[in-house]
Structure 1
């Protein structure tokens, strides 16, 4: 259950051509990563054996620490393209500042991470408000934990958008982002502080005005879940470490209280649909957990799009996200927040959380989760932006994004090599074999 109040380019034909060397490198890295997975801390091996307890959230590497201010007069500035780490007290709000021009759309996403062992009420969550220097409200958004009352990372976003349909928040100057809990004193909520991850983004204006109303006609029929043999993809522990997925059937293990992150490239004109299956427990226990599995979809600016909760009684269960329209720049003019959030191309995030209450009846797991991901429709050219976004490329789908989704290697070669380094010396033989294959193939291609 979620409450809301919110005021690139197309895929090129032949995107896989002319880039075989990079695809081979990613394939070699994926092979070696598969060999090292058994010794990677915090993961389960192929046999599903238990590993160390997962951390609640993996913050972005290099996230800058910033302190939220009690007064907007003391608010620290957030720089677009940067990621920050902060904290939210049990009561009261904290504020951060933005300096914006009169032409650029700005977005700030706030991920709230309750501490392990904390308790939350049904309606508790995080609320994000953006105001201008005169106190006019530009946007309000809040996300709650829902009926499961299971604490886990949740995200809400704020925005300052330049729109012909809105007269406020159009001036250049100072803007303020305030963050607070929705129900800090609610029944069952503990007053402990939460960690925050904040990311600020900008979207340039378009070269031409274009449509000023959302498309009225789109295929709203409920899509059929993707069928076929599942493949293993281990989810990440945060937005920046989200595991890339493309269309297909993907299997992962998830434990009660754990949250897993994935990302799917969705280009202009394409629709994304996802069904989540939770396998039977095998324990023979009886009972019921409401919203045991929550699957949420976030857009490239980490704005909440839609979610689905799957109740669990120990038998296999399934739930699907509601039908969603194709990604379109003009969706931002829609009256409903769900359609409005599908305003850019880029990586859309899937965040799966298994309620900690599942363990009370059905044990610690792990439980098998299957994600059936469909990306339908032909990619088309997007709007002509009059400048670069911050961070660069966040509102487009690149060849590298498509390759990463096919291989399941987040961030391309650099991230893969860092993962290899973390794998440890114990897998040195497999590492040398993998790198040897990589080098040999690269040399042969260069010679050719």
Structure 2
């Protein structure tokens, strides 16, 4: 949900009273931003306020994940770790797991992360996995799990304990190192609809490959994590990306709207020759951070381009589709674009930076969505607000400008106080604060 003016004013007005832990967290956020500005690839930026939780080997010891709260955990090189969800009998629940290997680790072609949700009786409600692909370049990847209340799913409808298991796909594969990976976990809940709607996906939608949007590119610097993703709307956007770096963007897509994206990678300035398969990977995730689609762009030093395959308009009934890509386009909200440039590019073409252009098209007029019988958690995550649209147009998180004005009026006089204040500004301005 967008941060309101009052919330920003209260938090910034009490900056001096922050506890030391909060101050260090915000300073760390500012340091990550400074590292990005310097052009050095930064590691994944975890959500501010993420709680540390230990994954359990046995479901009997699994710690609880509460919807709306971000968690940080660890995935060992081998074996599963488990977490618990306590669910009612009416709401849909989603949990996203972002795996973050260290930059100096090695991964196989099929290695990645797998997420499974089961009920207390051992029935599987869902499973999903995401891999690193042919580039074998370690970077943040996300997979999701879900418990759906649906007439098409006879199991997993009871209230009670459910278990989320996380594991590596290929921990002993050729080229994989047994390092532990960091994890970011976020659970969300979606209330039931007031009225019973369609129980099958729309049969017809425009599946023609759209023409990439043309125009002069405008610079937008990508964020270093889901929470800090840079807002984009329809347009042509330019950014610098270095080998091994991953950049995050978010695009508001409302009910009835269709998103299409093309990524261009500019030619190398070194004149070197060679080839890196899947050098640029562009992935699209939905508002629950569930993977929707991706495209890999090979690179030989000349300009290259790749587009996400056509996706349907956002529709509540898409969840009944047999195809995972269509099913994932099930709710409105912020859709995340995650771009990664393979570390292998540096071996042949140097450290860059390389020019990346994103051509983003959001077609169709916003339509009314389903009437929910309650609020989602986090609140507003499955909708597009006016603040979201404004943020996408301006390229800053909703509330940033207001918070900055409040900070200036507050008259913070010292450099250290300003640094902490800027950290709080960044924290409270995030559109979907999960802390």
Matched residue, 2:229: 242
Cα offsets for 1:390-431 (capped at 9, x unmatched) = 000000000110010001002422796399899x959x9xxx
Whether the 8 Å CA contact 2:36–2:42 is kept in 1: the answer is no
Whether the 8 Å CA contact 1:90–1:194 is kept in 2: the answer is yes
Q: What is the aligned length? A: 387
1:178 to 159, 162, 165: 165
Query: Post-superposition shift, 1:116?
Result: 1.9
Query: Post-superposition shift, 1:54?
Result: 2.2
Asked whether 1:43 is paired with 2:36, we answer yes
Query: Post-superposition shift, 1:350?
Result: 0.1
Matched residue, 1:277: 264
Matched residue, 2:250: 263
SS of 2:185 mapped into structure 1: strand
Asked whether 1:66 is paired with 2:53, we answer yes
Matched residue, 1:142: 129
Cα offsets for 1:247-303 (capped at 9, x unmatched) = 000000000000000000000000000000000011010000000000000000000
**Matched residues in 1 for 2:218 and 2:147: separation?**
40
Which structure 2 residues correspond to residues 113-192 of structure 1 after superposition, within 5 A? Answer: 113-192=100-179
**Matched residues in 2 for 1:347 and 1:418: separation?**
26
**Matched residues in 2 for 1:391 and 1:93: separation?**
27
2:44 to 45, 57, 66: 57
Matched residue, 2:339: 352
Matched residue, 1:361: 348
Whether the 8 Å CA contact 2:289–2:336 is kept in 1: the answer is yes
**Matched residues in 1 for 2:260 and 2:402: separation?**
27
2:209 to 206, 222, 225: 222
Whether the 8 Å CA contact 2:250–2:334 is kept in 1: the answer is yes
Matched residue, 1:32: none
2:64 to 62, 77, 89: 77
TM-score computed with the length of structure 1 as normaliser: 0.83
**Matched residues in 2 for 1:168 and 1:274: separation?**
36
Which structure 2 residues correspond to residues 335-414 of structure 1 after superposition, within 5 A? Answer: 335-413=322-400
SS of 2:34 mapped into structure 1: coil
Query: Post-superposition shift, 1:43?
Result: 3.1
Query: Post-superposition shift, 1:182?
Result: 0.2
| Shift in alpha-carbon separation, 1:128–1:420, aligned structure 2, 3 A | farther
Matched residue, 2:75: 88
Q: Structure 1: which 5+ runs fail to align? A: 1-7, 9-18, 20-36, 45-50, 429-448
Matched residue, 2:276: 289
| Shift in alpha-carbon separation, 1:348–1:415, aligned structure 2, 3 A | farther
**Matched residues in 2 for 1:282 and 1:122: separation?**
29
| Shift in alpha-carbon separation, 1:215–1:233, aligned structure 2, 3 A | same
Cα offsets for 1:28-64 (capped at 9, x unmatched) = xxxxxxxxx9x961234xxxxxx35322200000000
**Matched residues in 2 for 1:40 and 1:220: separation?**
39
Whether the 8 Å CA contact 1:409–1:416 is kept in 2: the answer is no
Runs of 4+ in structure 1 deviating by more than 6 angstroms, as ranges, are: 418-422
**Matched residues in 2 for 1:78 and 1:288: separation?**
43
**Matched residues in 2 for 1:416 and 1:195: separation?**
31
Cα offsets for 1:228-258 (capped at 9, x unmatched) = 0100000000000000000000000000000
Whether the 8 Å CA contact 1:246–1:406 is kept in 2: the answer is yes
Asked whether 1:333 is paired with 2:316, we answer no
